[in-house]
Amino acid sequence: MREIEKCFARLFSCDDGRRALSYLQAISFQRALAPTSTDQQLRYAEGQRAMVATILRLIDRGRNPS
């Protein structure tokens, strides 16, 4: 797992990578769904959030090995 963490840290350390990560965070964490959203829409949004959270965790581990 260690090598993939380093890979994510390198991938998102350049300007384009930081810009792409910022976009992913905006469309997942900073988006609110309507109270009338369906169960499927809520689950889809939560899946997006979980994926971006995983990416952030891998980046952090790659930059700060324990």
What residues contact 32, with CB distance under 8 A and at least 6 apart? none
How remote is the C-alpha of 45 from its chain's centroid? 12
pTM, 2 dp: 0.89
Domain ranges of the chain: 2-63
Q: Could you tell me the CA-to-CA distances from 30 to 55, 57, 65, 66 in Å, in that order? A: 16, 18, 28, 30
pLDDT tens readout for residues 5-25: 999 999 999 999 999 999 999
Average pLDDT, the chain: 96
The DSSP 8-state label assigned to residue 14 in this structure reads: S
Instruction: Find the length of the chain.
Output: 66
